A and B are shown apart, each in its own frame.
Chain A
């Protein structure tokens, strides 16, 4: 069975500091991996995704993530946090051999301190 684990339900960083949100997955087949962001009282918005090809993926708002097969990880990073980055972030894996069901992690709430 495929699953997603996000380490840390809450992460707090100072403005300008590095953002690192951790995600590990388990999958018996090559996964498609996603990071979504949810701002308060809004739906989820795609930040970036990995399907095939280059393992370092760049997304919107300066975020990037690297697929590391040996570590079964897909950590999300941003070099310098901005106040507007405060939101909840979800890592997800897709069951592409079962019609495309997204399996979400539990989410990590990012706080950015001035």
Chain B
């Protein structure tokens, strides 16, 4: 049963520290998405990649957030320095994008619950 995996599942850190979240997409999927979920804002798309290249990161605060795909099996989301307002659940999702650019079903990981004190 292929699944998206995310590590860590929970992270508590202090303001100013660097946070790295990792995602392993489903093997064969060529599109990876990062979402953030908060009570106030709901689900927000932060960034996404197609074939490891960033397609859109307009939802991401550029000064402190960065997203990369070092290889096809790993996506990372980093926050440096972290702030209390970054506390949220961060989800990774993967899917198979068509030639036309659309991605049909997205498969979500279990999320990383981040708390910044």
A: which residues have CB within 8 A of B? 32, 34, 36, 42-46, 49, 51, 90, 94, 96-102, 104-107
A102 contact from B50, B106, B111, Cβ within 8 A: B106
Q: Nearest A residue to B96 by beta-carbon distance?
A: A100
- Count of A-B contacts with CB under 8 A? 63
Q: Main SS of the interface on chain B?
A: strand
**10 new A-B contacts at CB < 8 Å, known A43-B4, A100-B97:** A34-B105, A42-B111, A43-B108, A43-B111, A46-B105, A97-B100, A100-B31, A100-B48, A100-B95, A101-B48
Interface string of B76-117 (1 = CB under 8 A from A): 000000000000000101010100111111111111000000
| The residue from A42, A101, A102, A104 contacting B110, defined by CB atoms under 8 A apart | A42
Number of chain B residues close to chain A: CB under 8 A = 26
Q: Are A32 and B104 in contact (CB under 8 A)?
A: yes
Asked if B111 and A100 sit within 8 Å, CB to CB, the answer is: no
